Amino acid sequence: MDSRTVVRRYYDALDDHEYDALEDVLAPGFVQRRPDRSFPDRESFVRFMREDRPNPNTTHELVAIVGQGETVAARGRVLDSGDPLFEFADFFELEDGRIVELETYSR
């Protein structure tokens, strides 16, 4: 599967609350770093998204997904009922068709 397709599946899983699908696109050694917190492994990230998201009803509007090989960047907006909350840029590293690292920036 193309790495950009994997990244699209990541956002679809978040927006659709498909946490099994989210876990499937993340490698067992997945880590995420973002300005407000970090997740050292796949289990803590999926648990946070399932149980502790501050606003679980948000969606992602993607402006662009660009990448080459195992490195992909996505830019977009997080929306709440269609209203923009903030803009983001995500940088993904993939291995064997799964996301191993995600660095998130927002404003």
18-70 confidence digits (pLDDT tens): 999 999 999 999 999 998 899 999 999 999 999 998 888 899 999 999 998 89
pLDDT of 1 reads 79
Distance CA 85, CA 30 (A): 26
Q: What percent of the chain has pLDDT over 90?
A: 88
Q: What is the DSSP letter of 6?
A: H
pLDDT of 68 reads 84
- The mean pLDDT of the chain is 95
